[in-house]
Structure 1
Amino acid sequence: MTSLPDRFRTAARGAGATAADADLDSAANYLLTRWTEPQRHYHDVSHLAAVLDVVDRFAELAPHPDRVRLAAWLHDAVYDPKALGDANERDSAEFAEGLLVTLGAPDEVAADVARLVGLTAGHATEDGDPDGELLCDADLAILAADDERYAAYTAAIRREYAHVPDGDFRAGRSRVLHELLKLPSIYRLEPIREAWEARAQANLTAELELLA
């Protein structure tokens, strides 16, 4: 199986990065230290690998799959459960653009990856943005998991927000789920929507009932 640093290097090269292999590997390993920070219980290396796997599986649906792969690597590069609003996504997008420029990626590529990262704040995409749709669909793939994996996911999210009292957590989590259910559909790309939409809708509805 290809290692995560190898996958980062391949995606970076595919997106036009010109840095030496050693520098690309160093960047990947640095990112992995971020993905293994102690405050992460769901937003960890397992989540990164799962998002990358979905992107790889449906890569033919996106015109720039390597940009999407880089956005997957960088979309939670900054993750503090105590941050307010979409600060994590904004900071991750800014970090992404700076890192990719230092790795020799074209400015347009670095800016586009940063744009993709920013989309994960609300998972709302514009029409005609299959790269953004693939990233958001991959990021939300867990919502269509079976009962056991979905329960593990929600438990991990609760651990990340252990500092939040139960009542406040239930209210906040309910708002997140309602916002997802208000989207035209949870998944945007047709093959993914056909495969996962019904299951995700059922999972979110069931979780809302438990939170209530």
Structure 2
Amino acid sequence: MDDMDQAPRSVEADTLRDRWHECLVAARGGDEGPDPSPYADNLLARWAEPQRRYHTTAHLAAVLGHLDTLAGHAADPDAVRLAAWFHDAVYRPDRSENEERSAVLAERALPEAGVPAATTTEVARLVRLTVTHDPAPGDTNGEALCDADLAILAAPPKEYAEYAARVREEYGFVPDEAFREGRAAVLRQLLELPRLFRTPHGAAEWEARARHNLATELELLTH
């Protein structure tokens, strides 16, 4: 992988390094292969870039935590966890091709790290799926990843408000009126989906709260 600035050192980062090691070893079927540590350091440095306010290591840790709950739904939970690591690995709020660039990063890094070709292909597909968060029926891997990524929408009101504020900070270069219009369009698009969450757990535990939060934010933005 490309050189990056030094990865963060903290309890959270060390826990994430351990999770990366476990995930990579499981995905490649054993300890044979390159040292996982440089790949963890590169990814964590990406997730700690200064332009990020919401899409940080805290978001990565949260998605991985939700996947622990949803892993039984996925056909290949190891691929889904790898996709979580890569899904926002490239993130520039002023660019529209972040998911594609993140998928290409996975396609380059994972074979080098010893991950089989089929798993790499699935990881890249899942990363690209986060453009729409609209998995096809029966795509259990996609359902698990998308539900985990969107779970923040069902957070308690205070936590949701903090999430929305951090998203606004990431788009600090956008004037207020333009941001309100763009954000409102995103919220409407989400609310128009027949189902925000596709896993049984997500549908039962997160759907209603998420719709309430989205509707509340939309009301604040447009009135």
Aligned match of 1:5: 17
**AA aligned opposite 1:74:** F
Aligned match of 1:49: 61
Query: Is residue 82 from structure 1 mapped to residue 104 from structure 2 by the alignment?
Result: no
TM-score (normalizing by structure 2): 0.91
Aligned match of 1:193: 203
Using the TM superposition, give the Cα deviation of residue 46 of structure 1 relative to its aligned residue in structure 2, in angstroms.
0.2
Separation in 2 of the partners of 1:153 and 1:57?
21
RMSD: 1.2
Q: How does 1:82-121 map to 2 (within 5 A)?
A: 82-84=94-96, 87-121=97-131
Aligned match of 2:218: 208
Separation in 2 of the partners of 1:183 and 1:125?
12
Aligned to 2:206, the other structure's residue is in SS state: helix
**AA aligned opposite 2:137:** D
Aligned match of 2:7: none
Deviation string, structure 1 residues 109-157 (Cα, Å, up to 9, x no partner): 1011000001111101111111100000000010000011001000000
Q: Is the 8 A contact 1:6 1:25 kept in 2?
A: no
Q: How does 1:50-69 map to 2 (within 5 A)?
A: 50-69=62-81
Aligned match of 1:135: 145
Give 5+ residue unaligned stretches, structure 2. Answer: 1-10
Separation in 2 of the partners of 1:69 and 1:35?
15
Q: Is the 8 A contact 1:93 1:114 kept in 2?
A: yes
**Runs of 4+ off more than 3 Å:** none
Using the TM superposition, give the Cα deviation of residue 19 of structure 1 relative to its aligned residue in structure 2, in angstroms.
2.1
Give 5+ residue unaligned stretches, structure 1. Answer: none
Aligned to 1:135, the other structure's residue is in SS state: helix
Aligned to 1:58, the other structure's residue is in SS state: helix
Aligned match of 1:148: 158
Query: Is residue 181 from structure 1 mapped to residue 191 from structure 2 by the alignment?
Result: yes
Deviation string, structure 1 residues 1-39 (Cα, Å, up to 9, x no partner): 97211111111111116423xx21110111000000000
Separation in 2 of the partners of 1:204 and 1:3?
31
Aligned match of 1:19: 33
Query: Is residue 72 from structure 1 mapped to residue 99 from structure 2 by the alignment?
Result: no
Using the TM superposition, give the Cα deviation of residue 47 of structure 1 relative to its aligned residue in structure 2, in angstroms.
0.1
Aligned to 2:90, the other structure's residue is in SS state: coil
**AA aligned opposite 1:4:** L
Separation in 2 of the partners of 1:152 and 1:191?
24
Using the TM superposition, give the Cα deviation of residue 191 of structure 1 relative to its aligned residue in structure 2, in angstroms.
1.7
Q: Is the 8 A contact 1:119 1:125 kept in 2?
A: yes
What's the % identity of the aligned pairs?
A: 50
Aligned to 1:52, the other structure's residue is in SS state: helix
Deviation string, structure 1 residues 40-97 (Cα, Å, up to 9, x no partner): 000000000000000012211111111111000000010000003xx00010011111
Aligned match of 1:37: 49
Aligned to 1:15, the other structure's residue is in SS state: helix
Separation in 1 of the partners of 2:55 and 2:212?
22
Separation in 2 of the partners of 1:64 and 1:141?
20
TM-score (normalizing by structure 1): 0.95
